[in-house]
Amino acid sequence: MKVVSIKRWQAILLAAILCFVTVLPTACTTDTVDHTASTTVVTTALPTSTGMITDETTTTLSGSSTTAVVTTVNVTTAVVPTVTQGTKPSAPAAIPAYSGSPYVVLNDNIPSFSKTELTTTAYERYSELDSLGRCGTALASCGKEIMPADGEERGSISSIKPSGWVQATYDSVDGKYLYNRSHLIGWQLSAENANKKNLITGTRYMNTKGMLPFENMIADYIHETGNHVAYRVTPIYKGNDLLPSGVQLEAYSIEDGGEGVCFNVYVYNVQPGIVIDYATGASHLEDSSAVTTTAKRTTTTIKKITTATTKRATTTTKDMVVMVWIPQSGSKYHSRSGCSNMKNPSQVSLDEAVNLGYEPCKRCY
């Protein structure tokens, strides 16, 4: 009689333990229960990756005829608001002043993406322009599906005048022109051309020294692996400034959990040697208070051209607009269509070539 009583209490205790195990909360996406005659196992299938803090605990509970093994995984991620159409972006906390580097690392270089943003289904999302005509956050899952097709040519973007577009030329600026129409999601990642929701006024320095290296990193990774990269670009404005003070770039390679690409940086919208009024987009040399005369022009016409320039460029119209040749693939503009063995080059104005990000060919310029 005494033996029977002990077994009864063991059975009651075991039943309570198993009931407790069944309702234990877990922070997992997939639960697999393996039912056998003597063992119940609750496991989780959640990959760990850069940018996630993982805390894993394993508990073993034993009874007279059943062993329960419970694995609980708690995952904590930094969360930022997802892209909402038409909302104003807010600046990351404590961005240091520009000190000579085109960018600075934020949050230990760890980006913040929600689970729904980390998908291998390629997509693009662009914010509506705000009441001042300014671009907001752009978000994409970049993959070959949305990148330019082989042989696809860039379209013209010269029709777009982003907020703060007050073009100026300076001898100290590579290519002379201070501003580029800077893509938020780069053309090589999205094949987006004259999309006003994806073009901001960016300095030549920001576009080529700050943003381009990170865009190239993503594009090279996708071409090499065929994987996808979550990529978010947030222009940062101070108050009602028309020109962003910089852009925050965040990227995370999805299939390999951030091993291939993972960064969170702020790129400064500055040009060394040039003072910029971010409220309007006007500018002047650092040692001068006068705005350059070309700052009032948004297109360049050449009324007087030297003989040397005449030999290097095709000119059209009464005002002699300088025309150049750009390749289907490559980063240089040329004065001759046959330079560098280009195949089916396109002829555009020098202004447009510069704004598209092309640099002069060292052979023919």
In a shared domain, residues 95 and 49: no
The confidence score (pLDDT) of residue 359 equals: 83
In a shared domain, residues 147 and 243: yes
Residue 216 has pLDDT above 50, yes or no: yes
How far apart CA 74 and CA 70 sit, in angstroms, is: 13
In a shared domain, residues 147 and 279: yes
In a shared domain, residues 137 and 243: yes
In a shared domain, residues 290 and 344: no
The last residue of a domain, from among 54, 76, 98: 76
Tell me 341's DSSP state: G
The confidence score (pLDDT) of residue 17 equals: 53
The confidence score (pLDDT) of residue 346 equals: 82
| Tokens encoding 150 | 């082989």
Tens digit of each residue's pLDDT (9 = 90 or more) over 47-94: 333 332 223 333 333 333 333 333 232 333 333 333 333 333 345 557
The last residue of a domain, from among 237, 265, 294: 294
How far apart CA 318 and CA 139 sit, in angstroms, is: 44
Q: Count CB-CB contacts under 10 A for residue 203.
A: 25
Residue 122 has pLDDT above 60, yes or no: yes
Residue 225 has pLDDT above 70, yes or no: yes
In a shared domain, residues 86 and 146: yes
The confidence score (pLDDT) of residue 14 equals: 57
pTM of the entire predicted model: 0.59
Residue 124 has pLDDT above 90, yes or no: yes
List the single range of 136-145, 170-179, 261-270, 279-288 with lowest mean pLDDT. Answer: 279-288
Higher pLDDT, 34 or 159: 159
Structural domain span for residue 22? 2-76
In a shared domain, residues 276 and 363: no
Tens digit of each residue's pLDDT (9 = 90 or more) over 172-206: 999 999 999 999 999 999 999 999 999 999 999 99
In a shared domain, residues 86 and 199: yes
pLDDT category of residue 237 using cuts at 50, 70 and 90: very high
In a shared domain, residues 225 and 353: no
E strand or H helix that includes residue 40:
strand 39-44
The confidence score (pLDDT) of residue 327 equals: 85
Computed over every residue of the chain, the mean pLDDT equals 74
Higher pLDDT, 83 or 145: 145
In a shared domain, residues 178 and 199: yes
CATH code of the domain containing 168: 3.40.570.10
The last residue of a domain, from among 25, 56, 76: 76
In a shared domain, residues 187 and 54: no
List the single range of 71-85, 208-222, 253-267 with lowest mean pLDDT. Answer: 71-85
Among 335, 339, 326, 211, which residue's Cα sits nearest to residue 269? Answer: 211
Q: Compute CA distances 305 → 287, 299, 319, 320, 363, whole Å.
A: 28, 16, 10, 8, 20
**Domain total for the chain?**
3
In a shared domain, residues 116 and 182: yes
